[in-house]
C-alpha cells in the first residue's frame, strides 16, 4: 500500500515485516517507482476484465499478480489497456533439467505442426484444429484431462527439424547433439528428454502415459484425412508443408516422436498505468500523482509493445528514465 502526505504526495510504501508480523512504513527519500509487472497472475482481477476460463489460465510468472497496479489504482491512478489481459502461450516440456533457475519451458514449436504434427490429449484423441488461432487452442487445452496435451509426429518431420536452420525452439545452452548455441534441434531435445522417441505408437503412448489404443486409432484416422485432404472433425485445412514435402504424408514413418507435455501459460499482459514522458503516473483526470513513477510493464501508457523482446527493451529504457527523473526530485 502506498501512503501520501496531506498534499497528496506519495511518501512511501506500507508493508508487512514477515519476521515480526508488524506493519512498517518505508519512506522514500525522493519518490516511489513501481516496477511490478502486470496482471498475468491476478486471477481475481482478470475475472473483471475478461472471461472466467481465460482468467483461470496460469501465468508464466506467478509473481506478476498486479499488486503494484492495484496500489496505484487505490490512489486514483489511471489503468489502461484493460483489453490486453495477456494472450495465452503454449509451452512444452523443458529441453532438460538445466534450462534455467526459473525452470521455464520452451515454446511450443508451431513449425512442427505446420509440417504435419498433431495434438492429442491423454486419451490419445485430437481435440482441436492444430492450425487454428492460439487463443482457441489454449482454451481447448485447458478443457482436457490434466489441462495438458502432446504433440505427435514421425521421423519424416523429425528429419526436417534436425537440420539448421529448422530448429525446434530456443535453447539456453549449446545443443548436446548439434552443438548449436541458443537453439535446439530434435535430437538436442531428445537428449534431454524434452522429446521422447519410440519405434511403435504403443511405446510412444506409454512414454507419456497416453491411452495407446486411442492414440493408434487417432493416427490411423489422421493418416486417412491426410490422404483425402479433409478434416471433418476440426476443419484443419493443412496436412503437411509443401516445401517440407510432407503434404499428405501423415504420421507413418517410424520412429515416432512426442513433444510433451504442452501446457497453457499467460506469458505477458499489457494492463498498465498511464504515465507521461517523465514516467510519472497519471490519475484518471490526467493529473500527475506527485512522487509516483512507473516503468516496464507497470508503466507504459498506451504504448503497444509488439515483437520479440520489446518488453525488455522498454523495461531497460523506462526504468532508467524513471530512475533519473525520480532522483532529480527535491528531497
**Least-confidence region, from 216-220, 244-248, 265-269:** 265-269
**More confident position, 165 or 155:** 155
For 105, phi and psi rounded to 5 degrees? -95, 160
Higher per-residue confidence, 137 vs 98: 137
Give me the pLDDT at residue 138, please.
Answer: 92
pLDDT tens profile 247-298: 999 999 999 999 989 989 888 889 999 999 999 999 999 999 999 999 999 9
Please give the grid coordinates belonging to residue 169.
525452439
95 pLDDT more than 60: no
Statement: residue 98 has pLDDT above 50 = no
Rounded mean pLDDT, 19-29: 95
Q: Please give the model's pTM, rounded to 2 decimal places.
A: 0.84
Domains of the chain: 2-86+269-327 (3.50.50.60), 88-266 (3.90.700.10)
Whose cell is 495465452? That residue is 88
pLDDT reading at 94 higher than 70:
no
508451431: which residue's cell?
Answer: 110
In tens, the pLDDT along 299-319 reads 999 998 887 778 899 999 999
Looking at residue 106, its pLDDT comes to: 58
Amino acid at each position: 500500500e502506498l501512503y501520501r502526505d496531506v498534499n497528496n504526495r506519495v511518501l512511501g510504501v506500507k508493508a508487512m515485516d514477515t519476521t515480526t508480523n508488524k506493519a512498517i512504513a518505508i519512506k522514500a527519500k525522493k519518490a516511489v517507482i513501481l516496477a511490478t509487472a502486470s496482471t498475468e497472475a491476478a486471477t481475481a482481477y482478470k475475472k473483471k476484465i475478461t472471461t472466467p476460463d481465460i482468467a483461470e489460465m496460469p501465468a508464466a510468472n506467478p509473481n506478476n499478480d498486479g499488486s503494484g497496479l492495484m496500489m496505484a489504482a487505490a490512489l486514483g491512478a489511471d489503468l489502461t489497456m484493460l483489453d490486453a489481459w495477456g494472450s495465452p502461450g503454449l509451452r512444452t516440456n523443458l529441453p532438460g533439467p538445466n534450462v534455467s533457475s526459473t525452470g521455464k519451458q520452451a515454446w511450443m514449436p508451431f513449425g512442427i505442426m505446420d509440417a504435419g504434427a498433431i495434438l492429442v490429449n491423454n486419451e490419445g484423441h485430437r481435440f482441436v484444429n492444430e492450425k487454428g488461432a492460439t487463443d482457441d487452442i489454449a482454451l481447448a487445452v485447458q478443457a482436457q484431462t490434466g489441462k495438458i496435451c502432446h504433440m505427435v509426429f514421425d521421423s519424416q518431420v523429425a528429419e526436417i527439424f534436425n537440420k539448421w536452420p529448422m530448429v525446434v525452439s530456443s535453447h539456453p545452452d549449446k545443443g548436446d547433439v548439434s552443438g548449436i548455441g541458443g537453439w535446439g534441434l530434435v535430437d538436442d531435445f531428445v537428449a534431454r528428454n524434452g522429446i521422447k522417441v519410440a519405434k511403435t505408437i504403443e511405446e510412444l503412448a506409454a512414454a507419456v502415459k497416453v491411452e495407446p489404443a486411442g492414440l493408434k486409432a487417432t493416427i490411423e484416422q489422421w493418416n486417412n484425412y491426410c490422404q483425402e485432404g479433409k478434416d471433418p472433425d476440426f476443419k484443419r485445412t493443412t496436412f503437411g508443408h509443401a516445401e517440407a514435402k510432407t503434404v499428405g504424408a501423415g504420421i507413418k514413418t517410424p520412429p515416432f516422436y512426442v513433444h510433451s507435455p504442452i501446457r497453457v501459460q499467460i506469458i505477458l499482459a499489457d494492463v498498465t498505468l498511464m504515465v507521461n514522458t517523465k514516467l510519472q503516473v497519471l490519475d484518471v483526470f490526467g493529473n500527475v500523482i506527485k512522487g509516483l513513477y512507473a516503468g516496464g510493464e507497470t508503466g507504459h501508457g498506451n504504448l503497444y509493445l509488439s515483437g520479440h523482446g520489446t518488453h525488455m527493451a522498454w523495461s531497460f529504457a523506462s526504468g532508467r528514465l524513471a530512475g533519473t527523473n525520480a532522483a532529480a526530485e527535491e528531497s
